[in-house]
Structure 1
Amino acid sequence: MSYETILYEKDATDKFATITINRPDKLNAMNKTVVREIDAALAASVADGDVNALIITGAGRAFSSGYDLQGGDFDVDFDFWVEDMTENAEALLNIWNAPIPVIAAVNGYALAGALELVMSCDLAIAADNAKFGEPEVRHNSGPPALMMPWLLATRDVRWLMYTGDTIDAEEALRMHLINKIVPAAELKQKAENLARKLSRVPTPALKYTKMSINNQQMIAGMRESFNYNITSIAGLHVTKAGNEWMKKLGKMTLKEYLEYRDSPYRGLDV
């Protein structure tokens, strides 16, 4: 199968594959094509008996800057947002629920929806130059999939989700957003070493261990949490403030919009 926005490559010697988001000129911003192609490549990996582990990474200098803010329709209603966010959340849940282990290899920025993608993976290795954050709160938005409370301590969740701050790899490691930090030049090799290791573990052991871990979170209410978040953030988008921010996005260049959004917070680091 050919792809427009991702690269898909199976390793020549071990049973793992790599999905690379391939929009480096846009910092691998995730439009609907990216979301759907990652989902399709994931399904192909799961169906392939020669793929026992999967890596997801980004081309160039970023893992991904998050969902693409350019080129959309900014005059939409609540039902549109529910449909849009449900598709995005289900694609992330497919990664979380895949019967093979999925590794995020994080180079550069992993922001907003891209951070949700990282958190949907089973394990995460980050380059020492990686940056993480949920900045969308600053333009009256929120994540389509509320994965963070299932991974992090509540204090850390509130910090990231309330402030929109971007943190470095060391802070991400402290918060347990990631498992390991490696030099940027070694990220590919280290991620592949982990994928090789996992691909050699008996596949039933990993499949059923993952099912047991995931079941614990499902019993605790993860699906209900996701559903509540979708309707809550969809409602947020159609508030008066939400409509005003969407109108600004339609009138400004992305550079102007991000400057307008982030400039009030400069100099306020704690």
Structure 2
Amino acid sequence: MGVSTTGPENGVRLVTVDFPPVNALPVRGWYDLADAVRAAGRDPDVRCVVLAAAGRGFNAGVDIKELQRDPGHQALVGVNRGCAEAFWAVYACEVPVVAAVQGHCLGGGIGLAGNADAIVAADDAVFGLPELDRGALGAATHLARLVPQHLMRALYYTCRTVTAAELHAHGSVWRVVPPGDLLDEALGLARDIAAKDGTLLRLAKAALNGIDPVDVRRSYRFEQGFTFEANLTGVAGRVRDTFGSGGSGLRSGGREER
């Protein structure tokens, strides 16, 4: 359990997240993920990083039970900073990052996939932000990188999900494949990227980030300010308690998505 890094082939690093049962990450998990992606990108022998997850889903967001166990705000501050660090590590990675997404990609998963350079998805993948149902706000910054503005707003307000096929139609998913082919397809794209000159790839990544119309780090941290406000006013805890006592969503082993 945790975050691991392997080198399946020349020039490619595979960073795998494994927090069973649903890949809802605790505070430490977000920081570990950020460290692994940064380390891979800084390796001069690496020209592409693949971000993947073990189990039935790519990412279910944060571990809400961890927040509920904290009588104060330390866990909230930790997870907000940890998410921001992990999302930024993917975006600012010195080489391109390919996200391999299967099953659920929710909450924090949108932050990771939305900040990746390319997404390969299994045909069972669903993407969404259940934040309003979890007493939180955030990652609209990253959902807006996957779908048009008005669809993003409708999805955000309703907490509904979209399929990999729908995102492929919008051009934000590179390929949709059967779950058993996901890793091979993602590694295949990474292999094509890694065949390019490493120095030019790093310059290209910096150049593309430099022309982005939205500063994703500042935008996300702005969103997080409203999460703090929701917690300070008590509305976040009230909604989370409703979720924990019988609301809908992924549930297993005490970890639940945000």
If the TM-score is normalised by the length of the shorter chain, which range does it land in?
Answer: 0.7 to 0.9
Could you say which residue in structure 2 is the equivalent of 1:193?
Answer: 188
1:180 equivalenced with 2:180 (yes/no): no
**Alpha-carbon distance, 1:82 to partner:** 4.9
Map 1:1-270 → 2, pairs under 5 A: 4-11=1-8, 13-23=9-19, 25-72=20-67, 73-77=69-73, 81-82=76-77, 84-143=79-138, 146-217=141-212, 220-248=214-242, 252=245, 256-258=246-248
**Alpha-carbon distance, 1:248 to partner:** 4.2
Distance 1:243 1:66 in 2: 17
C-alpha deviations, 1:193-222, integer Å up to 9, x for none? Answer: 1111111111122212221221122x6444
Q: Which has the larger radius of gyration?
A: 1
Give the AA of the match of 2:219: S
Segments of 5+ residues of structure 1 without an aligned counterpart are 260-270
Give the AA of the match of 2:6: E
Segments of 5+ residues of structure 2 without an aligned counterpart are 250-258
C-alpha deviations, 1:41-70, integer Å up to 9, x for none? Answer: 112212322221111111121112221122
Query: How many percent of aligned residue pairs carry the same amino acid?
Result: 23
For normalisation by structure 2, the TM-score amounts to 0.86
Structure 1 vs Structure 2 CA RMSD: 2.5
For normalisation by structure 1, the TM-score amounts to 0.83
Distance 2:214 2:7 in 1: 36
C-alpha deviations, 1:155-207, integer Å up to 9, x for none? Answer: 12102211100221111223344222112221111111111111111112221
Contact preservation (8 Å) 2:140, 2:152: no
Distance 1:135 1:235 in 2: 18
Q: Number of aligned pairs?
A: 250
Name whichever of 79-88 and 195-204 sits farther off.
Answer: 79-88
Distance 1:175 1:137 in 2: 24
Change in CA separation of 1:68 and 1:83 when aligned onto 2, cut-off 3 Å? closer
User: Secondary structure at 2:98's aligned position in 1?
Assistant: strand
Distance 1:228 1:187 in 2: 34
Contact preservation (8 Å) 1:67, 1:114: no
Distance 2:231 2:181 in 1: 40
Distance 1:18 1:224 in 2: 28
Higher relative contact order (CA 8 A, sep 6+): 2
Change in CA separation of 1:115 and 1:245 when aligned onto 2, cut-off 3 Å? same
